Structure 1
C-alpha cells in the first residue's frame, strides 16, 4: 500500500477533488460523465458510453411501470477498459461506481457541498463517501494495475478490467440496470466489484426494500361535533402497530448469518405521514409512505404479500375499514436483495487482497441496497468493497479520509491481479 500511495497519492487526490466539484444531483450527471470519459481516454483506456431506455426499465421490477416516471434523458453512463495479455483468454472484471449523489441542503452544511474542503487527509463534500471516493478507488486501481502489468517485472495477466461510472444509482440503478440488461460491451463480464462505502470491509449480501404508499379514508366533520366524523388517525395507529408486530415477528423468524449483529435486521420505517387539511376539522384522509426491509433470500413480492395480509387482517376487524378499505400500493423504486456465494472466485480474490493489506476480510451483510443486485440478476457474481462509511452517506458535511481511498484502490488492484492472473 505504501508503494501505491507513493506512486499515485497526488494524482488521486487531484482527481477526487475535481470529481467532487461536479453537482451530480437530480439527473445532472452528464457534465461529470463527459469529464470522466475524457480522463479515461487520457489514461489510455478504451471508452464506452450508454444511456438507459426508459421503456425497458419500466419492465424491470425495480422501477415504476410508467416509463414517463423514469428520467433517462441526458444521463449517460461511461466506462473505460484496460486489457491484459490475451484478453479473450482471461476473465473480465467490472469495477463499478455511481456518479450521482443525493441532494444537499446548503443550510445544513458548514461549507458549500460542491466545493471540497480539505483538512489534512479528510475531504468534506457531497458524494465524498457515497460514492465518488469509491469510484476514484476503482479508477486508480485500474491505472495502477495497467502500469504494473506493463512493466518488465509486472504480474502475468490475461483478461480485462472495466471501470464503470454509472448514472442514477440513487434512483434505482438506472445506469447499472441498463448495463446488466443489455450488455454495452462486445465481450462478456465474469464478475464485478462495486466500490460502495464498506469501511474497507467485504460485503457479500445487501438488503432489499419495498416502498409502499398507504391511503386511508375517513369522514370529515366540524371539530365542535367531531363525533359525527370518522378520524383516520386511530385506524392508522392500528395499522402501524400491526406492522410493528409483524416487524418483530420477522426479526425472530427470518434469519441470515451475516445480519445477526444488527439491532434491527429487516426494519419497517414509516417515513412520511400526511393527514387532514384543517385544524378545526376531523381528518378524513391520510397518506403514509412506508419502507419495508427485505432479507437476502427473500423476494420483494413475498414480503410485500406478508404486509398486505397483515393489513387485510386489520381491515377485517374494523367495520369502517371493511366498508372503506385502504389502498396499499408500490411507489418509487424497489430494491431486490442480493448476495454472492462466499466461495466465488471474485470474493476470494477480494478477501485475499484485503487480508494481505492487514484488513478484516470476514464477509458481512449490508443493510442498504446497491447496484450489485442488477449484476447478480444478470448472472455476474458481485461483491462490495470500498472506502468510507455508510454512516456518512446522505448526511450533511459528508466526508472521507483520502487514505482510505488509496488503501481501497490498492486492495482492488491486488484483487483484480489475483482474479486475472494466469
Structure 2
C-alpha cells in the first residue's frame, strides 16, 4: 500500500472529525433543492469552500454554448426555470507539481418528495443512531459531504498534492446533467480523471451507465358519442395493438441483451438490463366518449453495447410493423416522438489507473472485496468518458430508499466514502515529499 503511514493519519482525522461532515450535510439537507431550485444549496457549498480558504468559481451555464454540443437537449428544469439563477460551483485546490488533475463532483439537485409518505422530515435531517434521514442524504448530498470532508482533512494535515484538484457541486443530474457536469466540461474544467460519489455502495465502484430515451407515441382515432360508437374509431383499441407490439419488443430485447456488470451485485437484474416501459396512457376526458386520440409516454433504457440510433430505429420499425394489416393504422400510422432526457451509454475500462487505484483504496479502507458494476441507469460519469475520453468512476456510500420516502444513509458508509476518496486522491494526484 503506497503512502500507508500518511493514509493512516488521514483516515484517523476523517474519523475523529466526523461531526463536521454530518453538520455540513445537515446544512445542505435543510435546503429544499428540488431540481431547478439548486441555488440555496449551492450557497451552502460556497460558504463551506470559503471557510476552507478556497475561492469558489460560481457561474451559470451558457445555454448557447451548450446547444453546440452533441449531447445537448433542453431539460425540463431548463424549460421551466432557465439557467440564470442556477449556478454551478467549482473550487480549485492547486497542486504543487505536475501530477494528474482530478475532479471530485457531486450534484446538488434532488427529486421531489411526497411528504405524506415520509415518517421523517424530508428537508430537515434527522439522526437515529448511525442513520441519517432526509432527501439527498444518499443521492447525493451525502456524497458531496463525504468528498468535501476528505479534502478538508487533507488540508488540515497540510498534505500538499502534486496535481490540481477540482471540487464541484453541479446542477440537474436527475434530468441528465446538461447544465451541470457537461456545462463544467465545456466551461474548461477538464481533468485527467473524475470521481463522482453517487451511492454505489463502497467498496463497489461504478464503471458504466445506461442509455435512456423518453418517447411519446400518439395513436389517432375518431371520437364519437359512445351511444353512436359506430360513427367513431376507438383510438384506445388501436393503441392496445401498438402496446402489445411494444411488450413483445421488450421481451425480445431482454432475451437478446446480456450485460454482466449490470447484475454483478444483484442477480435478479439479469434479464432486465434493458427495459421498455409505458408509464403514462392518456385517452379521452369523459366516460361517454369514444377516444379520438391516445398518447402513450414511456422510457427506453439499455446498457452499453448499442448506440442510440440503433435502439431508436428498432422502436420505429416495431411501430411500423404493428400498423401492417390494420386498415385504420395503415392510413393513420402511430406518431413517434423522442423528447426530454437523452442519456447515451458509456463504459470505462476497469483497468484504467484511476479505477484500479480507487478499488485498491476502497478495499483497504473497508476491509471488504469490491466489484466494478453499472449499466442499468444513467449518471453524470458518462459526460467525462463518452465525450471527453476522461476516465471516471462512482465512489459513494450505500444508501437506502433514494428517490423514495425516508431516504437515508449511514454515517459509517459516508466515512468509508470519505476515506476512500482521500486515499485515492493521494495516490492519483501524488503528494509532495516532506
Give the stretch that moved more between structures: 211-220 or 110-119. 110-119
Question: Do structure 1's residue 84 and structure 2's residue 86 form an aligned pair?
Answer: no
Deviation at 1:231, TM superposition (A): 1.1
Counterpart position of 2:241:
238
1:388 to 374, 389, 398: 398
Counterpart position of 1:72:
83
Counterpart position of 2:5:
none
Q: What SS is found at the alignment partner of 1:329?
A: strand
Deviation at 1:36, TM superposition (A): 0.8
Give the stretch that moved more between structures: 293-302 or 412-421. 293-302
Deviation at 1:144, TM superposition (A): 2.3
TM-score, L = length of structure 1 = 0.92
Deviation at 1:301, TM superposition (A): 2.3
Counterpart position of 1:192:
194
The separation in 2 between residues aligned to 1:395 and 1:157, in whole angstroms, is 39
Unaligned runs of 5+ in 2: 1-7
Which runs of structure 1 show a deviation greater than 6 angstroms over 4 or more consecutive aligned residues? Answer: none
Distance 1:68 1:21, change over 3 A: closer
Distance 1:41 1:416, change over 3 A: same
Checking the alignment, whether the CA contact within 8 Å between 2:36 and 2:81 is kept in structure 1 is: no
Deviations 1:115-142 (A, max 9, x none): 1111111111111111100111111122
Aligned positions of 1:113-262 closer than 5 A: 113-148=122-157, 150=158, 157-173=161-177, 174-183=179-188, 185=189, 188-200=190-202, 201-260=204-263, 261=267, 262=269
Checking the alignment, whether the CA contact within 8 Å between 1:62 and 1:335 is kept in structure 2 is: no
Deviation at 1:22, TM superposition (A): 0.7
The separation in 1 between residues aligned to 2:74 and 2:312, in whole angstroms, is 16
Checking the alignment, whether the CA contact within 8 Å between 1:129 and 1:398 is kept in structure 2 is: yes
Counterpart position of 1:412:
421
Query: What RMSD over aligned residues (CA atoms) do the two structures have, in Å?
Result: 2.0
Checking the alignment, whether the CA contact within 8 Å between 2:161 and 2:430 is kept in structure 1 is: yes
Deviation at 1:70, TM superposition (A): 7.2
The separation in 2 between residues aligned to 1:196 and 1:303, in whole angstroms, is 27
Deviations 1:282-308 (A, max 9, x none): 111111111001221322222111101
Deviation at 1:19, TM superposition (A): 0.9
The separation in 2 between residues aligned to 1:47 and 1:296, in whole angstroms, is 35
Counterpart position of 1:94:
103
Distance 1:18 1:257, change over 3 A: same
Q: What SS is found at the alignment partner of 1:297?
A: coil
Checking the alignment, whether the CA contact within 8 Å between 2:75 and 2:176 is kept in structure 1 is: no
2:359 to 351, 376, 388: 351
Counterpart position of 1:272:
280
Checking the alignment, whether the CA contact within 8 Å between 1:90 and 1:158 is kept in structure 2 is: yes
Checking the alignment, whether the CA contact within 8 Å between 1:58 and 1:65 is kept in structure 2 is: no
Checking the alignment, whether the CA contact within 8 Å between 1:220 and 1:284 is kept in structure 2 is: yes
Q: What SS is found at the alignment partner of 1:276?
A: coil
The separation in 2 between residues aligned to 1:317 and 1:406, in whole angstroms, is 61
Unaligned runs of 5+ in 1: none
Aligned positions of 1:366-385 closer than 5 A: 366-376=375-385, 377-385=387-395
Checking the alignment, whether the CA contact within 8 Å between 2:217 and 2:337 is kept in structure 1 is: yes
Q: How many residues align?
A: 411
TM-score, L = length of structure 2 = 0.89
The separation in 1 between residues aligned to 2:374 and 2:383, in whole angstroms, is 17
Deviation at 1:252, TM superposition (A): 2.5
The separation in 2 between residues aligned to 1:258 and 1:313, in whole angstroms, is 33
Checking the alignment, whether the CA contact within 8 Å between 1:116 and 1:123 is kept in structure 2 is: yes
Distance 1:4 1:319, change over 3 A: farther
Checking the alignment, whether the CA contact within 8 Å between 1:142 and 1:163 is kept in structure 2 is: no
Checking the alignment, whether the CA contact within 8 Å between 2:304 and 2:375 is kept in structure 1 is: no
